[in-house]
Amino acid sequence: MNIRVGYGYDVHQLADGEEFWLGGIKLDYHKGAVGHSDADVLIHVICDALLGAANLRDIGFHFADTDPEYKGIDSKILLDKTVALIRSRGYEIGNIDVTVSLQKPKINPHIPEMKKCLAKVMNIKEDDLSIKATTTEKLGFVGREEGVDAHAVVLIYKIDGNKIENQYGH
- According to the annotation, is 144 in a ligand binding site? yes
Cα angle 160, 120, 149 (rounded to 5 degrees) comes to: 95
- According to the annotation, is 127 in a ligand binding site? no
- According to the annotation, is 20 in a ligand binding site? no
- According to the annotation, is 57 in a ligand binding site? no
- According to the annotation, is 63 in a ligand binding site? yes
- According to the annotation, is 12 in a ligand binding site? yes
Q: Are strands 20-22 and 129-134 parallel, antiparallel or unpaired?
A: unpaired
- According to the annotation, is 170 in a ligand binding site? no
- According to the annotation, is 141 in a ligand binding site? yes
- According to the annotation, is 62 in a ligand binding site? no
Q: With residue 96 as reference, give the H or E element that holds it.
A: strand 92-101
Q: Do residues 39 and 4 lie in contact, with contact meaning Cβ atoms separated by under 8 Å? A: no
| 3 state SS of 115 | helix
Q: Do residues 14 and 31 lie in contact, with contact meaning Cβ atoms separated by under 8 Å? A: yes
Q: Which residues pair with 132 in a beta bridge?
A: 99
- According to the annotation, is 151 in a ligand binding site? no
The length of the chain, given as a count of residues: 170
| 3 state SS of 141 | helix
Burial label for 141, CB within 10 Å (0-12, 13-18, 19+), is: middle
- According to the annotation, is 143 in a ligand binding site? no
- According to the annotation, is 99 in a ligand binding site? no
Q: Which residues are annotated as a binding site for a divalent metal cation?
A: 10, 12, 44
Q: Which residues are annotated as a binding site?
A: 10-12, 36-37, 44, 58-60, 63-67, 134-137, 141, 144
